[in-house]
Structure 1
Amino acid sequence: MMRLIVAAGGGGDALAAAMLHATLYGDDERAVILTYAWDRLLIDPLPGPRGADDFVGLEPLAPAVQMVSATARPIPPAGSTLPRLAAELPYTFALIDPVGGAEGIARQLVSLVDRLRPTSVDLLDVGGDVLARGDEPTLKSPLADSLTLAACSRTTLPVRLLVAGPGLDGELSYEELRGVLGSVVHTFAATDTASIDAALHWHPSEATGMLAAAARGVRGTCEIRDAGLPVPLTDASPTVHEVDLDRALRRNTLARALASTTALAEAEALSREICGFSEIDYERDKALWLKEQRAAKLDAESALPRLARFEAEARGRGVTHTTFRRLTEALNVDGSQRDDLRRLLISSRPEQFAAPLWRIPASTQ
């Protein structure tokens, strides 16, 4: 049998889709994960999602749908985590190309279903911002999820909407989402993370990293992103909920507006109009800012004192854990050295590594 899982926001949603498939459906069933190539600037210095024209070595999977295999490569200076995921995980990764807006994505989805005839189609979002109204002051990145939700609404396919780790993206809290979430489909446990353990060591996703940590029993407050958003890790964090897709669409003003879009630029303009911003604009501004910054030296002699200062300040904010993406930016380390920073910290203080998070000690060591 074949399963199709649509990673609503790309990035870490694709990694979570792999964990979901291994847990719910098992190794005996094949899966295709349809996802954006939309990574953080730490991985891809170019703002926004990558389309098919941004890669070499893609392989046709269905009309208008390309497969990202282990041998595919983004055209420099673009970057993507998808080829490495394809190399390390036993899944087929198909590319969502948003150049044609929601209508274009809908055509890709229908084409893929017609070719594969999957047993089920799941739309997966980690965190729950796919359920945003669009006016929440904490909302940061609604465009990708709203586009995929809008695309699903343009088809007659029986799509099941799943939200994993409600509140873990730091945009909408679990309390805000509680009234919309449906029944619990599954609660991830430590054993469920085994299928993606290796990828968690290098993948930059914060939400999926926290989902895995919560599944392993980590509880507390995790600080994420460049803004240092506090995210509670609770017993609700490792849960997966089914949500009525029509109800999600009625709630998501941006998704309804995006349903008839035929270009990414059109979708971005609607995001500015409805939400007051576009996350691609934010990425553009941040990319320019990063070019002007001078990264700090990365060695134990200089990095560990900076870490101690950060930890002291974080402890004062009630933070118990943080992500390596947050540490990379807080310690002013160049994004290309994120893995080097991770290795340095773990080798220096292995007792603080609460995989894949970093534990803030309760007091100075």
Structure 2
Amino acid sequence: MTRLIVAAGGGGDAVAAAMLHAALYGNEDQAVILTYAWDRLLIDPLPGPRRPADFTGLERLTPDVWSVPAQARPIAPAGSTLPRLAAELPATFALLDPHQGAAGLTGQLESLVNRVQPITIDLLDVGGDILAQGDEPTLKSPLADALTLAACCQLNEPVRLLVAGPGLDGELPPEAVTSTLGPVVRMLTAEDTAAISGVLEWHPSEATGLLAATARGVRGTCEIRDAGLPVLLTDESPAVHEVDLDDALSRNRLAQAIMSTADLDEAEAYSREVCGYSEIDYERNKALWLNEQQPTNLDPATIRRQLDQFEAEVRTRGVTHTTFRRITEALGLKGGQRDKLRQLLIASRPEQYEAPLWRIADEA
């Protein structure tokens, strides 16, 4: 039997989908995870999502949907975590292509459902920004989630919306979505994270990393992203809630607006109108800035000195943990240097590594 999980925002939501499948359904059923190839600029230097033509080695599942096997490769300069996920996780990863808007995504969903005949369909979002109304000042990336929500709401099959780790993406505080959250279907545990433990060692997703960390018992305040957003890690953070799909759509004004869109540019225009911006515009601007930056030499002594300064600064804000993505950007390094930085820090100060997060050292 097959279970279909739609990763609402792509990226780390696909990793969380693999963890949730193992936690909820065990290993008896086959997981098909439908997700964008939309990685942050740390992985993919090109703004926006990738389409099937940006890969070699894809396998056709339906006329509209391709799977991403382990041997697939993004065509340079594009990057993608999906082939490695396919190599390391026991799931079929199918590619969502939003370039034909919500209407195109709905067609892809319909064709995939007809092909694999899943016994359940879940739409998973880590953090809860899929419940955003669109005008929240902390909202950063509403478009990807709004597109999948709009598509799932038009599917003539029952879809269960799941929100894992409310607030962990730093986009909406937990209290902003509490009234919409339904019952807890799973309180994730350290045992549940075993399914993705290897992936967490290299995948840059912050929200899913925080979800796994809290499932393992980490508590405190974690600073994430380039903006240094503070995220509380509490006893409620590992919860997976069911949410009424229609309630989510009634809140999400962007999803309502893009229901009939036929291309990504049109959906982007609605995002600018409803939310005041497009996350792809942000990626375009940041990509231009990153291209102008020169790589910095990872001198261990210099890095340790800069890290000490960074930790002293964030301690004044009550921060107890951070992510390697945050450290990479705070130290002015390029995204491609994240893995080497991570290895350097863990090797030099292993006691501060609370996988997959970095614990801020106590004041000397």
TM-score bracket, shorter-length normalisation: over 0.9
Give 1:157 deviation, angstroms.
1.2
Matched residue count: 364
Contact 2:204 2:325 in 1 (8 A): yes
What CA deviation, in whole Å up to 9, does each residue of 1:113-154 have, x standing for no partner? 101110100000000000000010110000000000000112
2:153 and 2:119 map into 1 onto residues whose CA distance is 19
1:77 and 1:33 map into 2 onto residues whose CA distance is 25
1:209 to 2:209 alignment = yes
SS in 2 for 1:222: strand
Q: Which amino acid aligns with 1:332?
A: G
Give 1:209 deviation, angstroms.
0.1
Give 1:329 deviation, angstroms.
0.6
Name 2:225's counterpart in structure 1.
225
Listed as ranges, the matches of 1:333-344 within 5 Å are 333-344=333-344
Give 1:97 deviation, angstroms.
0.6
Give 1:248 deviation, angstroms.
0.3
Contact 2:322 2:360 in 1 (8 A): yes
Give 1:301 deviation, angstroms.
1.3
Give 1:294 deviation, angstroms.
2.5
Task: Give runs of ≥4 in structure 1 deviating > 4 Å.
Answer: none
Name 1:194's counterpart in structure 2.
194
Give 1:337 deviation, angstroms.
1.5
Name 1:354's counterpart in structure 2.
354
Name 1:126's counterpart in structure 2.
126
2:47 and 2:351 map into 1 onto residues whose CA distance is 36
TM-score (norm: length of structure 2): 0.99
2:70 and 2:348 map into 1 onto residues whose CA distance is 33
Contact 1:297 1:303 in 2 (8 A): no
Identical pairs, percent: 70
SS in 1 for 2:61: strand
What CA deviation, in whole Å up to 9, does each residue of 1:294-317 have, x standing for no partner? 232212111100000000001011
1:71 to 2:71 alignment = yes
Give 1:201 deviation, angstroms.
0.4
Contact 2:188 2:238 in 1 (8 A): yes
Q: Which amino acid aligns with 2:305?
A: P
Q: Which amino acid aligns with 1:297?
A: N
Give 1:362 deviation, angstroms.
2.0
Contact 1:63 1:112 in 2 (8 A): no
SS in 1 for 2:146: helix
1:300 and 1:123 map into 2 onto residues whose CA distance is 43
2:109 and 2:116 map into 1 onto residues whose CA distance is 11
Name 2:59's counterpart in structure 1.
59
2:330 and 2:107 map into 1 onto residues whose CA distance is 41
What CA deviation, in whole Å up to 9, does each residue of 1:171-224 have, x standing for no partner? 001111111100000000011000100000000000000000000000000000
Contact 2:290 2:334 in 1 (8 A): no
SS in 2 for 1:286: helix
Contact 1:188 1:238 in 2 (8 A): yes
Name 2:112's counterpart in structure 1.
112
Q: Which amino acid aligns with 2:243?
A: V
What CA deviation, in whole Å up to 9, does each residue of 1:218-253 have, x standing for no partner? 000000000000000001110000000000000000
Listed as ranges, the matches of 1:1-365 within 5 Å are 1-364=1-364
Contact 2:52 2:95 in 1 (8 A): yes
Q: Which amino acid aligns with 2:225?
A: R
1:27 and 1:87 map into 2 onto residues whose CA distance is 17
2:264 and 2:235 map into 1 onto residues whose CA distance is 37
In structure 2, runs of 5+ residues without a counterpart are: none
In structure 1, runs of 5+ residues without a counterpart are: none
2:343 and 2:151 map into 1 onto residues whose CA distance is 40
Q: Which amino acid aligns with 2:33?
A: I
TM-score (norm: length of structure 1): 0.99
Contact 1:295 1:332 in 2 (8 A): no
Contact 1:37 1:50 in 2 (8 A): yes
Contact 2:150 2:258 in 1 (8 A): yes
Give 1:156 deviation, angstroms.
1.4
Contact 1:12 1:207 in 2 (8 A): yes
Contact 1:122 1:159 in 2 (8 A): yes
SS in 2 for 1:71: coil
Give 1:332 deviation, angstroms.
1.4
